[in-house]
Amino acid sequence: MKILVIDDDPSVRKFISTALKKENYTVLEAENGKEGLKKLQEERDITIIITDLIMPEKEGIETIMEVRKLNPSIKIMAISGGGKVGPENFLLLADAVGANATLKKPFSSQELIMSLRLME
């Protein structure tokens, strides 16, 4: 199973990628939604996207909406630490625009894997 991780924070991307690789997932990374959408069009066998919501270039809500147009069957997990307003508002919005699951930062690798398994 191939997973695309989209997050502008390199340490978060590394944490998620490492946790997923330990579980034998194939992982691709992108630092923003624009780069993530490009990778999605290049790699047709991506089955799950894990995306942050607050990023430069193209933020997560917009990315989720575009992915839904391109590939309605792909699974999407939205993650957010929320910035100034707190993650709940952003995660609710992500859910409303088509995310299959949401996860509030910070989260443990066990929480990540459990949420992922519920989506498969």
pLDDT reported for residue 87 = 66
In the chain, the percentage of residues whose pLDDT exceeds 90 is 88
What is the domain partition of the chain in residue ranges? 2-119
User: Chain-wide mean pLDDT for the chain?
Assistant: 94
Task: Give pTM, 2 decimals.
Answer: 0.95
pLDDT reported for residue 89 = 85
CATH class given for the domain over 2-119:
alpha beta
pLDDT reported for residue 34 = 97
3-state DSSP percent of the chain in helix, strand and coil, to 5: 50, 20, 30
